[in-house]
A = this chain, B = another copy of it.
Amino acid sequence: MAKRVGQKTLVFEHAPQIVSFASVGGKMEGEGPLANGFTILTEDDKLGQDSWEKAESCLQASAISHALKSARLQAEQINLHLGGDLLNQCIATNFAMRNYPIPLTGLYGACSTFALALGMGALAVDAGGFDYISTAASSHFCSAEKQFRFPLEYGGQPTPTAQRTATAAGAVILAPNETPETQGICVSAAVFGHVLDYGVSDPNEMGAAMAPAAFDTIAQFLRDTQTAPQDYDLILTGDLGAIGSRLLLELANRDNLVLRDVHRDCGLLLYDIQKQDAGAGGSGIGCSAAVLCASILPQMRDGKLKRVLFVGTGALLSAITPLQGENIPAIAHAALLENRTHQ
């Protein structure tokens, strides 16, 4: 059962276990600092497909398959899948899931989707009735550029404040904490965020649009649980990039919360942004999913990190909303990940 603590935080009394995880990355991700942590890397960003959209579906299906393999599970043993992506009508997810006979709950929370999937997945596991629940999320630089910005062939130049959509996917399999497969990592709490509009309207400044939502969710969680930033080994946002991360620290400072020592951002971990020319850092649903599965969960498994607050941040826009003069509202969902065996 789940229990509400404070105003909005849900604590899972039998914290669902993460029984396996997997990450898949493209060429540029394989040249970045996290390359060694990926389950699989591809040199061919098209993955042998004839469209970027199909390539993204393959990325996501590959992450799911590797997570299943790592847990020694067949798809038939999974009772529910929660996942999403950035493409119109979530086609990367929906077409990837043609390959699996797993009941599907499609989620959309822009780049917050993977944190949302972990939170909702843990809630569902805690409700009972499930042996295993899988989660996955993906993004692809080329399908996103084509859909949200310009055709690749146009060779459009990004602004320095723009983030680079990751070509990556991540998958996590959850189970009730009675199963023997536990690696010791569990999802012990979650906060679902609400939509915040701070008036940012430049789609090349999405870090700025999302920072207030990240701050709101982090502050809510700390208030609800009566804890402080130093109670966590890591508060991991995904993905504010360089500018959004700076704004988050500023917003927190105003509230006397010092996040500097404990905060890292997936968008700044995936690439060496100077050397790899990655603008203000990585973004896209696959960025936080892959950073979590390629770097953070391995460190948690090894006991190097024990308590991680994973905060997915989403910019809520489509290609037409900025053209219609709309602001970019944002949302942030958080999942608390703990390795209790090392505590």
Q: Which residues of A contact B (CB under 8 A)?
A: 1-4, 8, 10-11, 50-51, 53-54, 79-80, 84, 86-91, 94-95, 97-98, 100-110, 116, 120, 123-124, 126-130, 191-195, 197, 316-321, 324, 326, 329, 331
A97 — which chain B residues lie within 8 A by C-beta?
194-195
A103 — which chain B residues lie within 8 A by C-beta?
8, 191-194
Q: Tell me, in angstroms, the Cα distance from A126 to B2 when the chains sit together.
A: 9
Among B53, B98, B105, B318, which residue has its beta carbon within 8 angstroms of that of A197? Answer: B98
A101 — which chain B residues lie within 8 A by C-beta?
194
CB atoms of A321 and B53 under 8 A apart: yes
CB atoms of A91 and B316 under 8 A apart: yes
Nearest residue, chain B, Cβ from A102:
B194
What is the oligomeric copy number? Answer: 2
**Given A88-B319, A329-B94, CB of A104 within 8 Å of CB of B53:** no
CB atoms of A129 and B79 under 8 A apart: no
Q: Tell me, in angstroms, the Cα distance from A110 to B98 when the chains sit together.
A: 15
Among B88, B95, B100, B197, which residue has its beta carbon within 8 angstroms of that of A326? Answer: B95
**Given A94-B316, A95-B316, A197-B98, CB of A110 within 8 Å of CB of B127:** no
A195 — which chain B residues lie within 8 A by C-beta?
94, 97-98, 100, 104
